[in-house]
A and B are shown apart, each in its own frame.
Chain A
Amino acid sequence: MSGPSTFVPKSALGRWFESRLPLGGLIHSSFIVYPTPRNLNYWWTFGGILSFMLVAQIVTGIVLAMHYTPHVDYAFLSVEHIMRDVNWGWLIRYAHANGASMFFVAVYIHMFRGLYYGSYKAPREILWILGVIIYLLMMATGFMGYVLPWGQMSFWGATVITNLFSAIPLVGDAITTWLWGGYSVDNPTLNRFFSLHFLLPFMIAGVVVLHVWALHVVGQNNPDGIEVKNTERDTLSFTPYATGKDSFALVCFMIFYAWFVFYTPNFLGHADNYIEANPLSTPAHIVPEWYYLPFYAILRAVPSKLGGVTLMFSAIVVLAFLPWLDTSRVRSAKYRPMYKVFFWAFVAACIGLGYLGAQPPEGGYVIAARLLTVYYFGFFIIIMPLLGLFETPKPLPASIADAVLGKGGLAAAQH
Chain B
Amino acid sequence: MNRFAKLGLAAALALGLAAATGARAADEPNNDGHGLTPSRQSWSFAGPFGAFDQAQVQRGFQVFREVCAVCHSARNLSFRNLSQEGGPEFTEGQVKALAAEYQIKDGPNDAGEMFERQGRPADRFPWNYPNAEAAKATLGALPPDLSVMAKARSYSRGFPMFLLDAVIQYQEHGVDYVYALLNGYSNPKDLNHNDYFPGGKIAMAKPLTDGQVDYTDGSPKTVQQYSKDVSSFLMWMAEPKLEERKHTGFKVMAFLILFAGLLYLTKKKIWADAH
Q: Is the CB of A251 within 8 A of B246?
A: no
Q: Mark A242-278, 1 if CB is under 8 A from B, else 0.
A: 0011011001101100111111111100011011100
Given contacts A262-B252, A263-B48, A274-B151, contact A244 B260 (CB under 8 A): no
List of B residues within 8 angstroms of A247 by Cβ: 263, 266-267
CA distance A77 to B76 in the complex (A): 8
Residue A90 interfacial (CB < 8 Å): yes
Partner of A267 from B144, B171, B263 at Cβ < 8 Å: B171
A255 close to B271 (CB less than 8 A): no
Q: Judging by beta carbons under 8 Å apart, are A272 and B152 in contact?
A: yes
Assuming the contacts A91-B248, A255-B257, A262-B252, asked whether A248 and B267 have C-beta atoms less than 8 A apart, the reply is yes
Residue from A38, A252, A355, A412 in contact with B260 in the complex, judged by beta carbons closer than 8 Å: A252
Q: Which residues of A contact B169 (CB under 8 A)?
A: 263-264
Q: Which of A77, A91, A244, A255 contacts B75 (CB 8 A)?
A: A77
Contact A245 B241 (CB under 8 A): no
In the complex, chain A residues 72-96 whose Cβ is within 8 Å of any chain B Cβ: 77, 80, 83-84, 90-91, 94
> Is the pair B171, A251 in contact by a Cβ cutoff of 8 Å?
no
Nearest chain B residue, comparing its CB with the CB of A404: B275
The number of chain A residues with a CB under 8 A from chain B is 40
Interface centre among A83, A248, A254, A259 (most CB of B within 10 A): A248
Q: Considering the complex, which residues of chain A in the window 84-138 have a beta carbon less than 8 Å from any beta carbon of chain B?
A: 84, 90-91, 94
- In contact, A264 and B260 (Cβ under 8 angstroms): no
Q: From residue 153 to 201 of chain B, which have CB atoms closer than 8 A to chain A?
A: 153-154, 159, 165-166, 169, 171, 173-174, 198
| Known A90-B241, A251-B256, A271-B151: A241·B274 in contact at CB below 8 Å | yes
- B 115-163 contacts with A by CB, 8 A: 144-145, 147-148, 151-154, 159
Separation of A266 and B76 alpha carbons in the complex (Å): 19
Flag if A251 contacts B274 (CB, 8 Å).
Answer: no
Taken together as a complex, chains A and B put the C-alpha atoms of A405 and B171 apart, in Å, by: 48
- CB B180 to nearest CB in A, in angstroms, measures 15
The closest CB in chain A to the CB of B47 belongs to: A263
A411 at interface, CB cutoff 8 A:
no
Asked whether B174 lies within 8 Å of A271 as measured between CB atoms, the reply is: yes
User: Taking chain A's interface residues, is the majority helix, strand, or loop, or is none over half, making it mixed?
Assistant: helix
Interface of chain B residues 47 through 64 with chain A (CB within 8 A)? 48
User: Does A236 sit at the interface, judged by CB under 8 A?
Assistant: yes
Check B65 for interface membership: any CB of A closer than 8 A. no
Q: Is A284 an interface residue (CB 8 A)?
A: yes
**Cβ–Cβ contact B260 & A91, under 8 A:** no
A271 partner residues in chain B, CB cutoff 8 A: 151-154, 173-174
Instruction: Decide if B253 is an interface residue (CB 8 Å cutoff).
Output: yes
Q: Is B264 an interface residue (CB 8 A)?
A: yes
Residue contact B260 to A258, C-beta cutoff 8 Å: no
User: Is A337 interfacial (CB-CB < 8 Å)?
Assistant: no
A182 at the interface (CB under 8 A from B): no
Q: What's the Cα separation between A254 and B76 when bound, in Å?
A: 32
Complex Cα–Cα for A164 and B263 (A)? 47
Instruction: List residues of chain B with CB within 8 A of the CB of A254.
Output: 256
Residue among B198, B270, B273 having the largest count of chain A Cβ atoms under 10 Å: B270
Task: Please measure, in the bound complex, the distance between the C-alpha atom of A259 and the C-alpha atom of B171, giving whole angstroms.
Answer: 13
B105 within 8 A of A: no
The listed residue (A245, A258, A405) touching B275 by CB distance below 8 A is A405
B240/A84 in contact, CB under 8 A: yes
Chain B residues lying within 8 Å of A236, measured Cβ to Cβ, are 274
Contact yes or no, B267 A245, CB < 8 A: yes
B260 engages A284 (CB within 8 Å): no
A240 interface hit (Cβ, 8 Å): yes
A274 lies within 8 A of B152 (CB): yes
Min CB distance B160 to A, Å, is: 11
User: When the two chains form their complex, are residues B249 and A38 in contact, meaning their CB atoms are under 8 A apart?
Assistant: no
Task: Give Cα A29 to B173, complex, Å.
Answer: 52
Given contacts A251-B259, A264-B169, contact A80 B147 (CB under 8 A): yes
Report B97 CB to chain A, min CB distance, Å: 23
A-side residues, CB < 8 A to B, are: 38, 77, 80, 83-84, 90-91, 94, 236, 240-241, 244-245, 247-248, 251-252, 254-255, 258-267, 271-272, 274-276, 284, 355, 404-405, 412, 415
Q: List 8 A-B contacts (CB under 8 A).
A: A38-B274, A80-B148, A240-B270, A248-B264, A248-B267, A255-B257, A262-B253, A263-B249
